[in-house]
Amino acid sequence: MALKKDFELTKRGFDGSLVAKGAYIKTESVGGTKFSVSAEISITSKDGELIEKKYCVFQPNMDGPNFIKQAYEHIKTLPEFEGSEDC
């Protein structure tokens, strides 16, 4: 399971931005408790080059799907991943 989205990267001290068309957003690891789950997210270009790693934390639904599925659902609610598509 992964997500796909055009990802824009800006760096402090530089003008403009770089755009990775169709970048892959993948949950690398998920762990936690019934109270809090953290997920490590990698963003890679189409050819597999790592663009960025991010982390997010969410409160899981113990009656919902597994934590990995819930991590992807949570990622899609974050503003920077708005419009991501399942792939």
pTM of the predicted structure, to 2 decimals? 0.82
Rounded CA-CA distance 75/30 in Å is: 12
Rounded CA-CA distance 6/84 in Å is: 8
Whether 18 has a pLDDT exceeding 90, the answer reads no
Domain-located, residue 63: yes
Domain-located, residue 48: yes
Number of structural domains the chain divides into: 1
Q: How many CA atoms lie within 13 A of 42 on its CB side?
A: 10
Domain-located, residue 62: yes
Domain-located, residue 71: yes
Domain-located, residue 68: yes
Rounded CA-CA distance 26/65 in Å is: 17
Which pLDDT tens digit goes with each residue over 44-77?
A: 998 999 989 999 999 999 998 889 999 999 999 9
Give the number of other CB atoms < 10 A from CB of residue 68: 14
Domain that holds residue 37: 3-12+29-82
Computed over every residue of the chain, the mean pLDDT equals: 91
Domain-located, residue 22: no
Domain-located, residue 21: no
Which pLDDT score, from 0 to 100, does residue 19 have? 86
Q: What is the DSSP string of 36-69?
A: -EEEEEEEE-TT--EEEEEEEEE---TTSS-HHH
Domain-located, residue 23: no
